[in-house]
Amino acid sequence: MTSQQHTSSRRRSFEVSVGAVGAVAMAIALSGCSSGPDYQGTCMDRLTQKRVTDHHCSSGGAGGAGGGNYAWWYTPRGKNVPAVGQKVDLSKGSGSFTAPKSGSVVRGGFSAKGGSVGG
């Protein structure tokens, strides 16, 4: 291999490395972009522990206001929200009736079919 071929080969591998580093940096940056809230509030019937339509919570029955049995259940990003009529997972880490003190929170508007928060 001549000196010129060796330098040319090294330059190409350097260019590929810089390109690969740029692609990895872009992927990391994009993965930090959120596609939804950190917490999703869905309305729950405390007696049956089932998800109900949002109007129950937004019409004065939320969190004891108006004395209703309905309250917002805050599900964190990456966890599943059940469909309307299905039981809410009350296990530790799956959500809470207490509104989060940090992070983005959305109450209502989640698909009646359920799904994953933030995805």
pLDDT, tens digit (0-9, with 9 covering 90-100), for 24-67: 333 333 344 557 899 999 999 999 999 999 999 986 544 444 35
115-116/80-81 β-pairing: antiparallel
Give pTM, 2 decimals. Answer: 0.65
Are 107 and 72 a contacting pair, CB within 8 Å?
yes
Each domain of the chain, given as residue ranges in start order, spans 1-33, 39-116
